[in-house]
Amino acid sequence: MTRELPDAVMDRMEQLFHTTIHRGPAALTRDELAAAMAECDVLVPTVTDEIDAGLIASAGPALKLIANFGAGVNHIDLKAARARGIIVTNTPRRTDRGHRRHDDGVDPVGAAPPGRGREAGAVRRMEGLDAGGMLGHRIGGKALGILGMGRIGQAVARRARAFGLTIHYHNRLRLPKVVEAELQAQWHPNLDEMLSTIDILTIHTPRNPDSEGLIDAGRIALLRPHVYVINTSRGGIVDEGALIVALEGGRLAGAGLDVWQHEPQIDPRLLALPNVVMTPHMGSATFEGRLATGEKVIANIRMWADGHRPPDQVLEGWA
């Protein structure tokens, strides 16, 4: 295991398997990953571990399963794994501390003690009583565009309806009409057409060769100036440079980001923008969610160890 997971998950892993856990806050280096992959039967990585073709080619003969902790697998070279006969599985079913902007120049990602940030100062100064300050927008009646209408996209749609948004979506395949009716969602077969009509864009498609750079400079230009972009999927889906230019130039209203193009590095221009809210890739950070994800990893390993196909095997072209 390349990272510490919830205690209950690690305890169960150690009960069931001969388990080695990398403990500590730092990710494994490439050399440490290579050493682990040279000896283990099963590797349990997370999104911070780049498992490329070179690492897979140098893996030991015992490695037969990469049981990823998390739904996204864009950090794993699936083609190289398949060539080596290594099965890859994922876990498809499973705010303020994450984002602070400080008047005193403290690191905005959760580093300052409570009460020192601009938000705390605003409370003390009662800035909310200023009729012209700290204004937001009503979301009722706005058009929400969902890119990627899988399990997560549909869950977002259900929640958005409760807030009075109209639901628009683009997906490779249209949902069954009964699901569209339940969600009151309108399918747009043409992504560009949807982008030109919505007020909020939220991204829930996996990162793969088809979605890499999907929201590029041209498509960002289709969004109207009052639009907000929300990305809790993967950073590489959006051309980050083009997004920054649009935000700096006032050609977009703002962005909410849980992911970045070059994680864990964050473009300093994003940190400087007042119309960007960021959280440190913590969209799934609930006790229940992390435990459920760990249980999925264990289930995949046990099925594989018992000679069965893991229930969440990922194939090339995964989407």
pLDDT of residue 211: 84
Predicted confidence band of residue 94 (pLDDT cuts 50, 70, 90):
low
DSSP letters, 29-55, are PHHHHHHHHHH-SEE---TT--B-HHH
pLDDT of residue 119: 47
Beta bridge partners of 215: 238
Ordered structural domains, the chain, with CATH: 7-93+285-314 (3.40.50.720), 96-135 (no CATH), 137-278 (3.40.50.720)
Q: CA-to-CA distance for 55 and 66, rounded, in angstroms?
A: 12
What is the token pair recorded at 148?
């990627």
pLDDT of residue 310: 94
> Would the pLDDT of 125 be above 80?
no
Catalytic member of 118, 263, 269, 295: 263
Task: Render pLDDT for 16-35 as a digit per residue (tens, 0 to 9).
Answer: 999 999 998 888 999 999 99
Q: Is 20 exposed, middle or buried (0-12, 13-18, 19+ CB in 10 A)?
A: middle
* CA terminus-to-terminus distance, the chain: 25
pLDDT of residue 171: 93
Backbone dihedral angles phi then psi of residue 132, each to the nearest 5 degrees: -110, 5
- For a pLDDT cut of 90, what percent of the chain falls above it? 62
Task: Render pLDDT for 130-180 as a digit per residue (tens, 0 to 9).
Answer: 444 556 778 899 999 999 999 899 999 999 999 999 999 999 899 999 999
- Over the chain, what is the mean pLDDT? 85
- Asked if 234 is an active-site residue, the reply is yes
> Would the pLDDT of 112 be above 60?
no
The pTM is what? 0.63
pLDDT of residue 145: 97
Contacts within 8 Å (CB) and 24+ apart, 167-170 = 168/143, 168/144, 168/194, 168/197, 168/198, 169/145, 169/194, 170/145, 170/146, 170/194
- Asked if 118 is an active-site residue, the reply is no
Task: Render pLDDT for 190-236 as a digit per residue (tens, 0 to 9).
Answer: 999 999 999 999 999 988 888 888 999 999 999 999 999 999 988 88
More confident residue, 208 or 10: 10
Predicted confidence band of residue 317 (pLDDT cuts 50, 70, 90):
low
Task: Render pLDDT for 266-296 as a digit per residue (tens, 0 to 9).
Answer: 889 988 899 998 887 776 677 888 888 899 9
Across the beta sheet with 87-89, the strand order is: 42-43, 65-67, 87-89, 313-314
What is the token pair recorded at 198?
């919505």
